[in-house]
Amino acid sequence: MFAKLKTNLGKLEYSQLDKQVDYGNVISYFNVELPKLDEVLGVIPEKYRNAFSMSVMKINAGVPAHTDSGIKTTINFYVKTPPCKTVFYKTPTKPTTYQILNQTNGVLFDEKDLEEADSFVAQEGEVWCLDVTKPHAVQPLEDLEERVAVTLATDTYYFQEVCSMLNDTGNI
């Protein structure tokens, strides 16, 4: 469901550009420029990089249990991390799901149908690979103003395939 990378880029500098998409005014993705672009892309073998897109993700509230739209796996480089627990759930057999306006293949889940499987609390500078085809949520542990991560996301490769790539580059 998730894996912590050995890589820690510390305070990752970035320049936020135009907005790509917004989900319910809670999660927003923006185009991004990075001074340390080679270090970020370096976690993935060069021959696979064209299957990944990069953005900056900003979250301003708790995120209910969901699966992501349009991607299978993401690698999050956490830039600003007020204490939040990222929770993954066992996939229920008959879940109650719904979608917000611009979701495509992703869905939101009724949490009464879910059982927690595992969780983590990311720290600034840490890098985590997530299987976003599995139900997951972000639960603030205190007041949340803004959570920021630079993301490398793929709609081509599944979590285990990306973990294999990260192993090839010595990052897990």
What would the pLDDT profile of 12-53 be if each residue is shown by its tens digit? 999 999 999 888 888 999 999 999 899 999 999 999 999 999
**Model-wide pTM > 0.75:** yes
For the stretch 90-147, pLDDT in tens is 987 888 887 787 778 888 898 888 999 999 999 999 999 999 999 999 999 998 889 9
Residue found under tokens 């999660």: 27
Which of 54-58, 75-79, 91-95, 164-168 shows the lowest mean pLDDT across its residues?
91-95
Q: Would you give the distance in Å from CA 34 to the centre of its chain?
A: 18
Going by C-alpha positions, the residue among 73, 51, 50 that lies closest to residue 163 is 73
**Average pLDDT of every residue of the chain:** 93
* Per-residue pLDDT tens digits for 130-143: 999 999 999 999 98
Residue 158's pLDDT is 97
Return the pLDDT at 23.
85
**Domains of the chain, CATH where assigned:** 2-168 (2.60.120.10)
Site of tokens 């064209």:
50
Backbone angles phi, psi at 36, to 5 degrees: -100, 40
27 touches 18 (CB < 8 A): no
Q: What's the angle, vertex CA 69, arms to CA 111 and CA 102, rounded to 5?
A: 90
Measured between alpha carbons, how far is 25 from 87 in angstroms, rounded to an integer?
Answer: 21
Average pLDDT over residues 149-172: 97
d(CA 91, CA 73): 16
pLDDT at residue 102, rounded to an integer: 78
pLDDT given at position 59 = 95
Write down the pLDDT at residue 106. 87
Cα–Cα distance, 37 to 120 (Å, whole number): 26
Contact 75, 128 (CB under 8 A): yes
Residue type, position 38, single letter: D
pLDDT at 144: 87
Sign of the dihedral through C-alpha 69, 74, 77, 83: positive
